[in-house]
Structure 1
Amino acid sequence: MSRDPYEILPGALLISDAHYSETRPQLLSLLLAVDAGTVKVPQLLLMGDIFDLLFGQIKVTHAMNAEAVAVLQRISRRIPVLYLEGNHDYNLAALFPEATVVPLSRQPFACRCEDRAVLLAHGDFNQPLSYRIYTALIRNGAVLRLLGVINRLTGNGIIAKLEAYLDRKNHCHTMTEYEAFVRAHLAPLALRDVDVFIEGHYHQGKSFDVEGVHYFNPAAFACNLRYAIVRNEQNGFTLHAQEWNEG
Structure 2
Amino acid sequence: MLEIKNGAIFVADVHCMPEDSSFYEFLDAILCEKIKCNQLILLGDIFALLIGKIPKSIQDNKKVIDKINELANKIELIYFAGNHDFYLDNIFTNVKIYKREVVFARHNNKILCLAHGDIFLPKFTQFALNLLQNNFILTFLCLLNTLCFNLIYKKICNRQKVKILYKKLENFKEIVSKRMQSYKAFLEKNDLKIDMIIEGHFHQGKSYKFDNVDYFNLDAFANDRSFFILEYAELKKQCFKK
The two structures have a TM-score, normalised by structure 1, of 0.90
* 2:137 equivalent in structure 1: 143
Q: Is contact 1:12-1:44 (8 Å) kept? A: yes
Identical positions, percent: 29
Specify the code of the residue in structure 2 equivalent to 1:211: D
Provide the residue aligned with 1:9 in structure 2. 5
Partner residue of 1:78? 74
Say whether residues 1:21 and 2:17 are aligned partners.
yes
Conserved? CA contact 1:9–1:42, under 8 Å: yes
Unmatched segments (≥5 aa) in structure 2? none
Output aligned runs, 1:124-203, within 5 Å: 124-190=118-184, 193-203=193-203
CA deviation after TM superposition for structure 1 residue 133, in Å: 3.0
- Tell me the SS of whatever aligns to 1:131: helix
Q: Which of 89, 95, 117 is residue 91 of structure 2 equivalent to? A: 95
Task: Provide the C-alpha distance between the structure 2 equivalents of 1:12 and 1:33, rounded to a whole number of angstroms.
Answer: 15
SS in 2 for 1:144: helix
Q: Distance in 1 between matches of 2:21 and 2:177?
A: 34
Contact preservation (8 Å) 1:50, 1:89 = yes
Q: Secondary structure at the match of 2:145?
A: helix
Q: 1:173, 1:131 → 2: CA distance?
A: 18
Structure 1 portions without partners, runs of 5+: none
- 1:204 paired with 2:204, answer yes
- Residue 212 of structure 1 deviates from its aligned partner by 1.0
Mean Cα deviation higher: 181-190 or 65-74: 181-190
- Alignment-mate amino acid for residue 77 of structure 2: V
- RMSD, aligned α-carbons: 1.6
- Whole-Å Cα distance in 2 between the matches of residues 163 and 85 of structure 1? 18
Tell me, in whole angstroms, the C-alpha distance in 2 between the residues paired with 1:35 and 1:148: 34
Asked whether the equivalents of residues 58 and 145 of structure 1 are also in contact (C-alpha less than 8 Å), the reply is no
Q: How many residues align?
A: 236
**Deviations along 1:38-60, whole A, 9 cap, x unmatched?**
22210001010011101121121
Cα distance per residue 1:128-185 (max 9 Å; x no partner): 3333332233223343333233223323211111011111110011001211110101
